[in-house]
Amino acid sequence: MKREEGAKIRSMPSGVPGLDAVLGGGLPEYSFNLIAGGPGSGKTTLAHQFMFANATVERPALYFTVLGEPTIKMLRYQRQFRFFDPKLAGSAIQFINLSAEVMERDLGDVLDRIVAEIERAKPGIVVVDSFRTIGGPHGSTERGSSFDLDHFIQRLALHLTTWEVTSFLLGEYAEEEQRNPVFTVADGLLWLSQATDRNSVVRKLQVVKIRGRAPMPGLHTFRITDNGLQIFPRIPEQTSKRAIPQKRDRLSTGVAGMDEMLDGGIIAGAAVMLTGPAGSGKSTIATQFMSAGLANGETGVIAVFEEYPEEYLRRANIRNPEVGKMIDAGKLALIYLRPLDLSVDEALFSILEAVDRLGAKRVVIDSLSGFEVALAPTFREDFRESLYRLVGTLTATGVTVFMTAEVAEAFAEARFTTEMVSFITDVIIVQRYVEIEGELRRVMAVVKMRGSNHSHEFRMYKVTANGIVVGSTLTEYDGILGGSPTLRSKVNGASPEQKPVKSEPTPRTRVPKVAKARRGK
């Protein structure tokens, strides 16, 4: 049977960045919704954002408060948010305090007051905060009341749906109470929670149900700032409509010798991993990669985790003053991602926003080691999955991603470069230190490159004032991979006394947790 056009339910914008995508397109008009969660989870702020985004003088919003504190106290804090418009308060948005009715009368009289106010104002939005406190501390009325809280909610819901208003009931519930029969009455149920892990607190939202919509599944992190709530939707759903470009050109790394090792450069849209110990020049190569793109007319984004952007930019400008000029010209974005309790979705949101704004073709993440440290503990346990989602989302747009990671194991034991991220990355380049004739030398090699030939040589390189310079190969040495290089004799293939080349111990630095994960995790 063909669906009638009149049967389509209009969607209302939530006023909360990211929430409409999670809801599957916005909140259905005239729906009856519950916003549940513990104290301080953001229920009141979410309801206010919706009201200020939708209320008008012709179709006002009624906000019923049954809290112990007066309305003026609540508004004192809510007006600190940027979405709060004083011109709407008292006209398009009307606040009604029911504390006196709740304390002196039974639930029947409370319901009568709500009904009378709705009939008077003819609102488009109704909020009751917090409806659970109407029934006392345990969700039930005192002895002698005319009916209990469940009956009250059912009668209130009947009135609200009959009046064709979009309504919200705010209530404090614990996780184990999700089977409460009150939830079956609602068209939509939004659950706000706070996950605590040691000194870290992460806010999460789940759309438990929403009638007439196909919401995003799972938990979505959010943050409360001066702008109110901001939701960071889970990554896979964000990229479902993104087209993967078919053209894959070669991109220069900005390091001539490295381009030779990569058979002409990196394939556009690839994910590149550069690993090495502290001081091996990872950030320098990453900056040269970005500078090469800028010189070719491309735009880019650099996300830094380990140092302040001012210091990162100062060092980058020493080698290439064009980096700072490109930022001023809007060709390059430098993002500092090191807030407390960072989530992978929040990090990707910031990067994607900059990519979309600039039309960026190159992204540098410096470094994954710092990224893991910046994550809230609850996300570090799934760091490998987070990395997969992060890289997959960016490369799906055709962006070339260049990542650095610090490792501290000996080269032969650096499982981080092969076991844990080999399926995520297209190109893996490793760096390490060796001691040759009493001098500390740096060497690099290309371990993997999908869809292309590449050099299998170890090549020495230097970090100079002008950047990385790749030098000669180490074909005259054996045992580099095992960590104990030895110089071969070149006379008639004989093997007289061999000169040992010692592996320089890498400084004791933190290893990303992913390097220690077991196979299959």
pLDDT at 505: 47
Mean pLDDT to the nearest integer, 376-398: 79
Q: Select the highest-mean-pLDDT range: 122-126, 162-166, 171-175, 487-491.
A: 122-126
Q: Read out DSSP for 245-308?
A: P----EE--S-HHHHHHTTSSEETT-EEEEEE-TTSSHHHHHHHHHHHHHHTT--EEEEE-SS-
Q: What tens digit of pLDDT does each residue of 303-359 get?
A: 988 778 888 888 888 877 888 888 988 899 999 876 667 788 888 888 889 999 999
Q: 417-433: buried (b, 16+ CB within 10 Å) or exposed (e) per residue?
A: beebbbebbbbbbbbbb
pLDDT at 489: 59
User: Would you place residue 270 in the very low, low, confident or very high pLDDT band (cuts 50, 70, 90)?
Assistant: very high
User: Can you read off the two tokens belonging to residue 107?
Assistant: 């639930």
Mean pLDDT to the nearest integer, 395-419: 68
Mean pLDDT to the nearest integer, 158-173: 86
User: Would you place residue 420 in the very low, low, confident or very high pLDDT band (cuts 50, 70, 90)?
Assistant: low
Point out the least confidently predicted range of 14-28, 67-81, 294-308, 483-497.
Answer: 483-497
pLDDT at 239: 54
Report the C-alpha gap between 235 and 348 in whole angstroms.
Answer: 8
Would you say 393 and 355 are in contact if contact means Cβ atoms under 8 Å apart?
no
Would you say 30 and 165 are in contact if contact means Cβ atoms under 8 Å apart?
yes
User: Can you read off the two tokens belonging to residue 137?
Assistant: 């501390």
Comparison of pLDDT for 123 and 507, the residue scoring more: 123
Cα→Cα distances 5→10, 118, 213, Å: 11, 30, 16
Q: Is the pLDDT of residue 13 over 90?
A: yes
Which amino acid makes up residue 410? A
Q: Is the pLDDT of residue 502 over 50?
A: no
Report the C-alpha gap between 56 and 62 in whole angstroms.
Answer: 11
Point out the least confidently predicted range of 43-47, 170-174, 265-269, 443-447.
Answer: 170-174
Q: For the chain, give the percent of residues with pLDDT over 70.
A: 78
Cβ count near 124 (within 10 Å): 23
Rg of the Cα trace of the chain? 30
Q: What tens digit of pLDDT does each residue of 85-138 get?
A: 999 998 999 999 887 777 766 678 888 889 999 999 999 999 998 766 555 444
Report the C-alpha gap between 344 and 374 in whole angstroms.
Answer: 10
Q: Is the pLDDT of residue 454 over 80?
A: yes
Q: Is the pLDDT of residue 230 over 90?
A: yes
User: Would you place residue 486 in the very low, low, confident or very high pLDDT band (cuts 50, 70, 90)?
Assistant: confident
Mean pLDDT to the nearest integer, 282-302: 93
Set out the domains of the chain in order of their start, with CATH numbers. 9-233 (3.40.50.300), 250-515 (3.40.50.300)
pLDDT at 400: 94
pTM surpassing 0.85?
A: no
